[in-house]
Amino acid sequence: MGDWDLTRRGTVHILTMADDQNRIGQALLASWEEALDEVESAETPRALVTTGVDRFWSTGLDLDEVTGMSERERFSFMNRLDLLLGRILTAPFITVAALNGHTIAGGALLALAHDFRIMREDRGFMSLPSVDIGIPFTPGMSALIIAKVPQPAAHDLVVSCRQIGAQEAAKLGILHDLVPVDEVLPSAVDLATSLANKDPETLRTVKRRLYPEAASMLTP
């Protein structure tokens, strides 16, 4: 998995992203897909926590790679990203994003697809700067944002592209908890552990029914 590491601590799988700013390109998508394959094939009970290192969780698309793609390649890439978001959104196990730092654009979408988000309270921004980047969200991505971010905040963040800190994100209901930086991962693991013993197929079905529009657009 390159500069990524997937370990297991009791019932919880911990995916640690350590590839600079964890920009989303084809290699990163492959690492995510490989990690989800491994967790889905693991014995139950199980859960997944994802985190980064230093100041970054993920800063979104690898724009150098994506803008260098042909139109057909970019369409295929964005479809693959949609499918990844759908897998996380409807995963048959609990997912917790331990946000250690900046969570931007496509990285914010990956975080929103998780069941829960815990972020460090002292630094790090979230933003959805699709308009400023010039790459529009797919219909499925837009449905995911609307499903996970309350209005009128969703409209504000998408149209303005402004960055918000953890305190504001928590007030908007985007985050489930704010903790000191050294407690982000332990808190996420504790939460995931407490919820790991869920029936997989019932959990998947419930998630699909909670977010029917996003799930229908982001899954096969």
- Nearest residue to 128 via CA among 151, 152, 101, 155: 155
Q: How far is CA 52 from CA 59, 108, 134, 138, 185, in A?
A: 11, 13, 26, 25, 10
Output the pLDDT for position 123: 87
Q: Which pTM does this prediction carry?
A: 0.96
Which residue has 């979104």 as its token pair? 60
Counting as low any pLDDT under 50, the low residues of the chain are 1-2
Cα torsion for 173, 176, 180, 185, to the nearest 10°? -140
Q: Do the bridges between strand 94-99 and strand 56-58 make them parallel or antiparallel, or are there none, so unpaired? A: unpaired
CA 23 – CA 20 distance, rounded (Å): 8
Output the pLDDT for position 4: 80
Output the pLDDT for position 1: 47
Output the pLDDT for position 133: 93
**pLDDT tens-digit readout, 80-101:** 999 999 999 999 999 999 999 9
Residue 142: strand, helix, or coil: helix
Output the pLDDT for position 132: 96
